[in-house]
Structure 1
Amino acid sequence: METYIQVAGLGDLTETIVEQRAALTITVKASKTEVALAEATKLRNDAIRTLKEAGLTPDEITEGGRDAWQPWYLKRSVGQEVAHRVLIACKETRRLYQALDALEPLFTNSRYTMGVDMQQPRFEAQDDAEAEARMAAIRHARSKASILAKEAGVTLGAVAQVEELGSQADNSGAYGDRNWGYAGGAVALASAGPGDDFEELAGARRTRTLRYRVRFLIG
């Protein structure tokens, strides 16, 4: 029967946001269902055209569905609400902000509202960073196993088994990058676009930790 030492090895890599994602919710309130449906559809179409005219490409805009409901407490006045959701994914933050701010003139009617919820952004690491993190995890495991072997008075041998345990990422602090117990992400529509004085910043960063269970033979 083989004898072994089994330890966990960790390796970190830094990831940066390379694409911002937002869910745009367009809501219309009206006293009649047919009016709410018609106005919501028109407002959705106008918003999509405005986003494209402001610089977003068709492949950056996708369908998010429609919802309709009638709150009981509004039945006597504005009793029907219809919402359309449009999903946006954009690699350039400036273009995203400019496109969203261009929508403001469409929402002067008090029955029309718009909400922007930032979704989980897309993170990427530099080339070869993940491979280096894997190697670092194995080195970390060997270092721990060597200490245990020395204390136990045995000789550490070859790697007998490596099992991937998945990874765990910390929170970058950016809108949409939620972690346990945090449900933030709503962003209000600004009254003015980012303009020429918009200060460009690098994408938010986070650390992702790769985890492996490594088994070393001992003699």
Structure 2
Amino acid sequence: MSLEDEALSRFPGPIAGVDEVGRGPLCGPVTAAAVILDHAHLPEGISDSKTLSSATRERLAEEIQASALVGIGHASVEEIDALNILQASFLAMSRAVAALAVAPGFVLVDGNRLPPGLPCAGQAVVKGDGRSLSIAAASIVAKVARDRIMVDLAQQHPGYGWERNAGYPTRDHLQALLDFGVTPHHRRSFRPVHNILYQDVSITR
């Protein structure tokens, strides 16, 4: 909590950690979370979500949401295609901060840039999910929230393996794109999807 403590010494609280997940997948939303931890009730085992098992993430997400203030925000596939993935990620982060029940006095954001238009001062923290407990908590909540969305979408569109690959361009997902085509949930601005659509147009012409 050293980054949080340092921020509290210079800015009014509370301090929120912010992180997003879903920049790399070919489909589905980009999802962000903002978390204000209760220093007196910190769930044990919070770490970068990428280093945790699925079961551990699920458990920690429930404990974080029970003990902390949490906001979750999304940017849709349509927004990703219209804005680009970076700006859509910023939008999801801003929505997550806005969804907090209490406005933060300062935010710690994973990455090297702050989203524009935040309601308070903030600090971008490179590899923040390994340096800040608040950012790590946000990474867990965002990952679990997005994975659940992809499991639900997988039931609507079987065959793409989204319940396993979360929409990332794995071999089975790319093969399913060739076999079954592009769904409404795919990001048309992403090259593998764009190339399939463009190829289909070329063939039909």
Range class of TM-score, shorter chain: under 0.3
TM-score for the superposition, normalised by structure 2: 0.25
Q: Relative to total residues, which structure has the larger strand share, 1 or 2?
A: 1
For the pair shown, which has the larger CA radius of gyration, 1 or 2? 1
TM-score for the superposition, normalised by structure 1: 0.24
Which structure has more relative contact order (CA 8 Å, sep 6+)? It is: 1
